[in-house]
């Protein structure tokens, strides 16, 4: 969203008969719209943030996310993205889970979906409120504004730290003293010169819980993430086949991973979200893997309408589900995997083969291999059949 300044003077509301500052007026308006935190930052990034981005891209930690590199100059400097920007308003909305986000990991026949994706797409929830605030700002001041909700080259976490909302923890996510690790972020770039808030300090101390719990060892060092090893990246951003080394440790995580967020000690100050759009839908809270594996494209779109899960598409999602089925330890789910051996998608067929090598008994494994491998035309799927020379006994 962008609006043009009309050059009119500031005209802020009065509280108790006294004029208020621009930052106070904007903060009060944002809180009245339901935001949980508001901060103001200059339109610059600290040198450390710029170096971190450069190193991240140089090491290839971004994997398939080429869009991170394509506009790195804009990401590293808000002034390159929009030369007229004079201040950045950072807005945050709490999506804290109602219960333990890791509890479902033990329910191996169920799929574990990251907390943030169990209901409405957060982009839609935030965008409506941010646009309302930006429109109010323009109408009150004539200032120009641009709105961003995780869809543009904006380094929102360093900006949030500069705005005093939180700090980037050792897991590279934002941590807030009031809300722990459970905040969605959005930004308004504006031509208004606003008084910045004090930068938040790093308060991680000697804690390493987020680093040590990572199932795939995705942190080469504190404050450094190799996305190529991250389960969130693998299940959401990665478009191809998931490497063998990551499959078993993925467990039943079928969309995203909350492990490093959930163990942060600062979550003891967090509260469960009160936003209805973030409360989990019953059918996404603990879905049966067998039901999810059976989804065709139309059913997938229907089930995940309005959900961020929809954007990865049915094939990648069922790929993830079949890995979880292979990790379930439930021989009865072998029949579910068998049904996907003739799926149109090689991504799905490949992981159906892998799941069967984990669940099928010797006779079933041999029969299916002899039936399907000669008919298979995809090189990668044939490789999955070849990968285990000897049939694996059922659990």
Question: pLDDT of 169-184, one tens digit each?
Answer: 999 999 999 999 999 9
Q: What pLDDT does residue 70 have?
A: 84
Q: What pLDDT does residue 21 have?
A: 86
Which residue in 150, 291, 294, 315 is the catalytic one?
150
Q: How confident is the model at residue 6 (pLDDT cuts 50, 70, 90)?
A: very low
Whether residue 203 is predicted with pLDDT greater than 90 in this model: the reply is: yes
Whether residue 17 is predicted with pLDDT greater than 80 in this model: the reply is: no
Q: What pLDDT does residue 12 have?
A: 55
Report pTM: 0.92
Whether residue 244 is predicted with pLDDT greater than 70 in this model: the reply is: yes
Q: How confident is the model at residue 2 (pLDDT cuts 50, 70, 90)?
A: very low
Bin 306: left if φ > 0, else alpha if -120 < ψ < 50, else beta.
left
Whether residue 3 is predicted with pLDDT greater than 60 in this model: the reply is: no
- Report the C-alpha gap between 202 and 13 in whole angstroms: 35
Q: What pLDDT does residue 312 have?
A: 97
Q: What is the pLDDT of residues 286-318, one digit of tens each?
A: 999 999 999 999 999 999 999 999 999 999 999
Q: What pLDDT does residue 210 have?
A: 98
Whether residue 58 is predicted with pLDDT greater than 90 in this model: the reply is: yes
Q: Are 191 and 5 in contact (CB under 8 A)?
A: yes
Q: What pLDDT does residue 71 have?
A: 85
Bin 186: left if φ > 0, else alpha if -120 < ψ < 50, else beta.
beta
What average pLDDT does the segment 244-251 reach?
98
- Report the C-alpha gap between 327 and 338 in whole angstroms: 15
Q: What pLDDT does residue 282 have?
A: 86
Q: What pLDDT does residue 66 have?
A: 86
The residues near 79 (Cβ < 8 Å, ≥ 6 apart) are 43, 44, 85
3-state secondary structure the chain: CEECCCCCCCCCCEECCEECCHHHHHHHHHHHCCCCEEEEECCCCCHHHHHHHHHHHHCCCCCCCHHHHHCHHHHHCHHHHCCCCCEEEEEEEECCCCCCCCHHHHCCCECEECHHHCCCCHHHHHHHHHHHHHHHHHHHHCCCEEEECCCCCCCHHHHHHHCCCCEECCCCCEEECCCECCEEEEEEEECCCCCCCCCCCCCCCCCCHHHHHCCCCCCCECCECCHHHCHHHHHHHCCCCCCHHHHHHHCCEEECCCHHHHCCHHHHHCCCCCCHHHCCCHHHHCCEHHHHHCCCHHHHHHHCCCCHHHHHHHHHHHHHHHHHHHCCCCHHHHHHHHCCCCCCCHHHHHHHHHHHHHHCCHHHHHHHHHHHHHHCCCHHHHHHHHHCCCCCCCC
What proportion of the chain, given as a percentage, has pLDDT over 90?
83
Q: How confident is the model at residue 4 (pLDDT cuts 50, 70, 90)?
A: very low
Q: What is the pLDDT of residues 331-383, one digit of tens each?
A: 999 999 999 999 999 999 999 999 999 999 989 999 999 999 999 999 999 99
Q: How much is the mean pLDDT over the chain? A: 92
Q: What pLDDT does residue 14 have?
A: 47
Q: What pLDDT does residue 13 have?
A: 54
**Between 14 and 283, residue with greater pLDDT:** 283
Q: What is the pLDDT of residues 98-152, one digit of tens each?
A: 899 999 999 999 999 999 999 999 999 999 999 999 999 999 989 999 999 987 8
The whole-angstrom distance between residue 274's C-alpha and the CA centroid of its chain comes to 20
Q: What pLDDT does residue 150 have?
A: 85
Q: What pLDDT does residue 10 have?
A: 47
For the question of residue 297 being annotated catalytic, the response is no
Q: Are 79 and 85 in contact (CB under 8 A)?
A: yes
What average pLDDT does the segment 150-162 reach?
92
Whether residue 273 is predicted with pLDDT greater than 60 in this model: the reply is: yes
- Report the C-alpha gap between 156 and 159 in whole angstroms: 5
């Amino acid at each position: 969203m962008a609006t043009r300044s009309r050059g009119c003077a500031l005209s802020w509301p009065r509280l108790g008969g006294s004029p208020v500052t621009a930052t106070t007026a904007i903060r009060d308006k944002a809180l009245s719209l339901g935001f949980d935190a508001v901060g103001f930052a200059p339109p610059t990034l600290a040198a450390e943030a710029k170096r971190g981005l450069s190193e991240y891209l140089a090491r290839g930690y971004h994997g398939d996310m080429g869009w991170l590199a394509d506009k790195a100059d804009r990401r590293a400097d808000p002034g390159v993205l929009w030369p007229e920007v004079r201040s950045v308003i950072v807005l945050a909305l709490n999506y804290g889970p109602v219960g333990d986000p890791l509890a479902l990991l033990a329910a191996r026949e169920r799929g574990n979906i990251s907390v943030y994706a169990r209901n409405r797409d957060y982009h839609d929830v935030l965008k409506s409120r941010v646009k309302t605030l930006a429109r109010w700002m323009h109408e009150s001041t004539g200032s120009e504004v641009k709105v961003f909700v995780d869809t543009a080259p904006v380094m929102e976490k360093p900006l949030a730290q500069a705005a005093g909302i939180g700090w980037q923890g050792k897991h590279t996510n934002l941590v807030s003293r009031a809300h722990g690790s459970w905040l969605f972020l959005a930004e308004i770039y504006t031509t208004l010169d606003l008084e910045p808030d004090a930068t938040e300090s790093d308060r991680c101390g000697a804690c390493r819980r987020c680093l040590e719990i990572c199932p795939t060892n995705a942190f080469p060092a504190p404050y450094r993430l190799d996305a190529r090893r991250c389960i969130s990246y693998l299940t959401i951003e990665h478009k191809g086949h998931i490497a063998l080394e990551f499959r078993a440790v993925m467990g039943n995580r079928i969309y995203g991973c909350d492990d490093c967020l959930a163990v942060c000690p600062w979550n003891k100050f967090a509260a469960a979200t009160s936003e209805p759009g973030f409360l989990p839908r019953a059918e996404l809270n603990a879905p049966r893997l067998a039901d999810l594996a059976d989804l065709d494209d139309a059913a997938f779109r229907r089930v995940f309408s309005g959900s961020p899960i929809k954007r990865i598409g049915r094939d990648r999602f069922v790929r993830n589900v079949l890995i979880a089925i292979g990790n379930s330890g439930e021989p009865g789910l072998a029949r579910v995997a068998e049904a996907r051996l003739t799926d149109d998608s090689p991504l799905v067929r490949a992981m159906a083969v892998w799941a069967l090598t984990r669940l099928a008994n010797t006779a079933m494994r041999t029969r299916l291999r002899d039936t399907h491998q000669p008919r298979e035309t995809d090189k990668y799927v044939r490789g999955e059949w070849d990968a285990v020379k000897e049939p694996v006994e059922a659990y």
